[in-house]
Structure 1
Amino acid sequence: MTTLSGTERKNITPGTAVSIVLKQDQRSGTLTHGIVKDILTKSAVHTHGIKVRLETGEVGRVKHIEAD
């Protein structure tokens, strides 16, 4: 299993399994796992991670992309 960086928009598509940091978890760094529903960041690259909405409705920045 390979882990891709979550800072590039091209690595993320709806349906991708990812680990994100929610706004309230930024200090602790707690990761939340889920499937991408929507990509919210418009730019191609973001240093803190691309912001996404998971299928559960949670919003956060991608830290890791779970690739097979």
Structure 2
Amino acid sequence: MNGQNRKDITPGTAVDIVLKADQRTGKLTSGIVKDILTNSQFHPHGIKVRLTDGQVGRVQEIKKQP
């Protein structure tokens, strides 16, 4: 599932994000969502989130929950 819809993401969700510094390479960083930073319900480049470790980036993929 992609990370363009805010309704699909909640704190505690496991996601892959792309950090600002990695946007050119597309390198993904995995983590757990702590805060949702985008206010709009949809964003074409992905909803911006803060992970539990403090990193900020846009969600590229939402991992399946067991």
TM-score with structure 2 length normalisation? 0.97
Give the CA RMSD over aligned residues: 0.5
Amino acid at match of 2:18: V
Matches within 5 A, 1:27-38: 27-38=24-35
Aligned residues: 65
User: Per-residue deviation at 1:5?
Assistant: 1.3
Which stretches of structure 1, 4 residues or longer, exceed 2 Å deviation after superposition? none
Which residue matches 1:41? 38
Higher share of residues assigned strand: 1
With structure 1 as the length reference, what TM-score do the two structures score? Answer: 0.94
- Structure 1 vs Structure 2: percent identity of aligned residues? 66
- Equivalent runs, 1:1-68 vs 2, <5 Å: 4-68=1-65
Instruction: Measure, in 2, the Cα distance between the counterparts of 1:17 and 1:43.
Output: 20
